[in-house]
Structure 1
Amino acid sequence: MPNFDQSKAYAAQEEVFFDDGREVELLHFVYGKPDINQIRGNPSKVLQAIDDFGRTKKYLMNVGEDKGKIVSDLIAEVKPQTMVELGGYIGYSCILFGDAVRKAGGKRYYSLERNPEFGAVISSLVDLAGLGDVVKVAIGSSDASIKRLHDAGELKHIDLMFLDHYKPAYKPDLKLCEELKLVTPGSVLAADNVITPGNPPYLEYVRASVEQKRKWLEQPNGEGTNPDVRVGQKHINQYAKRGEPTALNASPGNPNLVYDSKLNHSFEPTGDPDAIEVSRCTGEESG
């Protein structure tokens, strides 16, 4: 059993987003384990070591078993050659899903993380897990990393994308991927935290009809007009403490893409109810 109050730890997460050194402390904990030689090259043992830290030391905002299974099952079904995650934190999801992608015959898993310190932790743990042949960590804002990888010819298509980063960036980053033709018919999206803390703009977009999205593009700001369809200001303020950008990319996206989008109810590791929105791009209507 944990030796700390999980609910209080989760509440603290909403205030500090863990920029308190626990991520580097995790590295010392993992690499200091007496069975480190057995952990090397074994993704499941690396994940177990991270879980040990979270149970006995300090809470980490990882994807958790419930959500992890939803996405892992999706990987086994889709068998993506290329998967992208937006928001890597300390690499738990990256190791879990990167290993699943490799087992499914995939070639590349991109983990995009804005925080350079977190990115360094991800890279170290990925190397420890022996996943360096599949996983590539890109440090920088999500939209800049997407553009950079695309312009370099490294990222040509996204078969499966896991969104778990700055919530107001979900929709703009998806639209950027649409514009660059990285997301096309056949692409699948899995968006975390659409209930807790919630992401109304993203859900509105992936559930909208082509006709509705075309109408939005005709408006001055290219968006819907419902003021209630927005990410909570409290969440935006929390991320602002970490220096997240207030201006997001303004890609028009591709309103002609058709999505079949469904909510998959799940739970946070703390037991709080949440859900992952799985959106399958099923086609493209002519303009």
Structure 2
Amino acid sequence: MEGVDSYCADHSDGEPKALKEVSRDTFANVLKPRMLSGHFQGRLLSLISSLVNPTNILEIGTYTGYSAICMAEGLAENGKLVTIEANEEYEDRILNNFRTAGVSEKIELIIGNALEEIPKLDQKFDLVFIDADKLNYIAYYDMIFEKVNIGGVILSDNVLWDGKVLDNTKKDKTTELLREFNIHLKNDARTQKVLLPIRDGLFVSRKIKEI
């Protein structure tokens, strides 16, 4: 229904000033600003993080840092968020946005290929947000699963892909991969899960067992 997202945003917590600045800068100066989580989804990420109260968060796909800042709001005392971004051109902007939001000490930015960087991480995570290149979603999920604590939450973004996953006439590689990914998560008996029709689709999986 047209206007629903705006209505929901208007009746949710307001967007913090620092995040408004991140959003304004991204839309003015960065390509593909629709990739930004934005006010409504950002408040959801903050709320989920606060409910989990994670000691360690992993984000795959930083973009300009908006979602990382949101999730950092829910970190436990002395908690840490690790975020991996493949595009080195975003590095200075991301770090500046973290400083603007006052979360630089809580977040470690890694510039590199997530498939190469994830195996180097030796900590366990309570919250993971997957929001990078869609063709590697299954690989990311499978790679990080053993690094998630029991009770930890995995969030996977853009899983409805502008509704293309519902349209069987759409045969492009990304759409078909996301269909496979959604089935992969649905059939994972190690998790409790729900796919939420929020913005472009958010798959929420909670790890309940290792095997």
TM-score class, shorter-chain normalisation, is 0.7 to 0.9
Aligned-partner SS, 2:81 = strand
Alignment gaps of 5+ in structure 1: 1-42, 151-155, 211-257, 268-273
Structure 1 residues 191, 127: closer, same or farther in 2, change over 3 A?
A: same
Give 5+ residue unaligned stretches, structure 2.
Answer: 1-14, 166-177
Match of 2:7 in 1: none
Following the alignment from structure 1 to structure 2, what is the Cα–Cα distance between the partners of residues 207 and 106?
Answer: 34
**1:56 CA displacement:** 6.3
Instruction: Give the Cα separation in 1 of the matches to 2:27 and 2:21.
Output: 10
Question: 1:284–1:134: structure 2 CA closer, same or farther, 3 Å change rule?
Answer: same
Bigger Rg, which one: 1
Cα distance in 2 for partners of 1:266, 1:163 equals 15
**Which residue of the partner structure matches residue 207 of structure 2?**
281
Measure, in 1, the Cα distance between the counterparts of 2:114 and 2:87: 11
Report SS of the residue matched to 1:194.
Answer: coil
8 Å Cα contact 2:191-2:209 kept in structure 1: yes
Amino acid at match of 1:101: G
Structure 2 match to 1:142? 114
Distance 2:150 2:22 in 1: 36
CA contact (8 A) 2:45 2:70 kept: no
Residue of structure 2 in register with 1:201 after alignment? 180
Contact preservation (8 Å) 2:130, 2:140: no
Q: Percent identity?
A: 24
TM-score w.r.t. the length of structure 2 is 0.77
1:34-183 mapped onto 2 (5 Å cutoff): 44-53=16-25, 60=33, 61-98=35-72, 100-102=73-75, 104-105=76-77, 107-150=79-122, 156-178=123-145, 181-183=146-148
Contact kept? 2:22, 2:97, Cα under 8 Å: no
Q: SS of the counterpart of 1:146?
A: helix
Q: Is the CA contact 1:86–1:163 (under 8 Å) kept in the aligned structure 2?
A: yes
Normalised by the size of structure 1, how large is the TM-score? 0.58
| Secondary structure of 2:104 counterpart | coil
Q: Is the 8 A contact 1:88 1:119 kept in 2?
A: no
- Cα separation, partners in 2 of 1:114 and 1:54, compared to 1, 3 Å: closer
Q: SS of the residue aligned with 1:76?
A: helix
Superposed displacement of residue 149, structure 1: 2.6
- TM-aligned CA distance change 1:106 to 1:56, over 3 Å: same
Aligned pairs, number? 181
Quote how far apart the aligned CAs of 1:107 are: 0.7
Q: Is the 8 A contact 1:82 1:106 kept in 2?
A: no
CA deviation after TM superposition for structure 1 residue 89, in Å:
0.7
Aligned mates of 2:18, 2:79 — CA distance in 1:
21
Q: Identify if the C-alpha distance between structure 1 residues 133 and 57 changes in structure 2 by more than 3 Å, giving closer, same or farther.
A: closer
Structure 1 counterpart of 2:134, which letter?
K
How far has the Cα of 1:134 moved from its partner?
A: 0.5
3-state SS, counterpart of residue 187 of structure 1: strand
Superposed displacement of residue 63, structure 1: 0.3
Q: Deviations over 1:79-122 (max 9, x none)?
A: 11101111001111122222x134x4361011110111113321
Report the CA distance between 1:78 and its aligned residue: 0.7
Superposition deviation, residue 207 in structure 1: 1.1
CA contact (8 A) 1:207 1:260 kept: no
Q: Would the alpha carbon gap of residues 57 and 167 (structure 1) be closer, same or farther in structure 2, given more than 3 Å must change?
A: closer
Deviating more after overlay: 137-146 vs 53-62: 53-62
Report the structure, 1 or 2, having the larger strand content: 2
